[in-house]
Homo-oligomer: A and B are copies of this chain.
Amino acid sequence: MKLLITGGGGFLGARLARALLEGGMLAGRHIEAICLTDIAPPPPDLLADAHVHAATGPLLTQLDALKEHRFDGVFHLASAVSGECEADFDLGLRSNLDSTRALLDALRAQAAAGGPVARMVFSSSVAVFGPDSGVPMPALVTDTTLPAPQTSYGTQKLVCEHLVADYTRKGFIDGRSARLMTVTVRPGKPNGAASSFFSGIIREPLAGVDTVCPVGPEVSHPVSSPARTVDGLIKVFEASREALGGRLALNLPGLNVTVAEMLAALEQVAGRAVRERVRFERDERIASIVGGWARGATAERAARLGLAPHERFTDIIEQYIADCRARPDAALTLKGLIA
């Protein structure tokens, strides 16, 4: 089968591509080729793989060139992130709404031309949920909580969930939407996501860098490790329509954790000196966005697909450290730990 991963040059997309290439199979079929499209090229190890084709540039400008392919499956991960979308409304609409619509229409055209009806996993987000002065947000958002996004990012994700469902109902694609919990610990640099600090307060101290937490220690949020998130994307792709249980959008599993608990876990794994590299300095812009997010989530339908969250945040930190140790720049990424 031929696969497309949008956002395939990014951290999650590249990790997903590696997992797929390593397994060689998806939903019982042999993976012949993976096309990775993103604004930046994929990492060298993926570029060097004979199964991989890279298409670099904004998704909207790539779709014409991609028409020669006939994709059996798509993981649509490309997205502008929450902070960017709040700062630049047009960017969000273009990157998250227009691009998804164009991708859906390209897949519809592929099917109309006699090609396969592509199976598609759309990466939605826990950011579809929000507080609502009419109906307070429950302590834990579930698969059936009424979404009330409080950001443009969350709005665009929710809108795309509904488009994916309608294109699927019409038979143009075989789509499903996986609501990702906040992925932590992301490697690399901070990004424009308002949630970036959920990785930063672990990653930077481990690298020996002082960092700031822009929200209070009491802030609670559902998070997931990169590995469990990639597992979730694959399992949701492989699930039959019946196993999904009707609705096409579902929560991926998350560990509900407070910032205080994250830092306690960091101290437990890496020691007090590492934990003390984090200081609290409230950032009103970030705190206001995060204040509109879910404090915790459940994922009943994902559980029925065999997906579970990590049980302890220390496990997530330990996975991150193990990932770093496998990388050539381990001395840098774990400088704080080694010191």
Contacts and interface: CB of A to CB of B under 8 A. Distances in A.
Contacts of A283: none
Contacts of A145: 146
A247 interface: yes
Contacts of A159: 159, 162-163
B166 A134 contact: no
A170 B89 contact: yes
A198 to B, nearest CB: 23
A158 B143 CA distance: 18
B144 A246 contact: no
Contact of A152 (B143, B144, B152, B170): B170
B169 A133 contact: no
Contact of A134 (B163, B169, B245): B245
Given A133-B245, A135-B144, A155-B163, 17 more contacts: A89-B170, A134-B144, A134-B301, A135-B246, A144-B146, A146-B146, A148-B247, A149-B162, A149-B165, A149-B166, A150-B169, A155-B162, A155-B165, A155-B166, A158-B162, A159-B159, A159-B162
Q: Which 6 A-B pairs have the closest CB atoms?
A: A133-B246, A134-B246, A155-B166, A134-B247, A134-B245, A159-B159
28 contacts: A89-B170, A132-B246, A132-B247, A133-B246, A133-B247, A134-B143, A134-B144, A134-B245, A134-B246, A134-B247, A134-B301, A135-B144, A135-B246, A135-B247, A144-B146, A145-B146, A146-B146, A149-B162, A149-B166, A150-B169, A152-B166, A155-B162, A155-B163, A155-B165, A155-B166, A158-B162, A159-B159, A159-B162
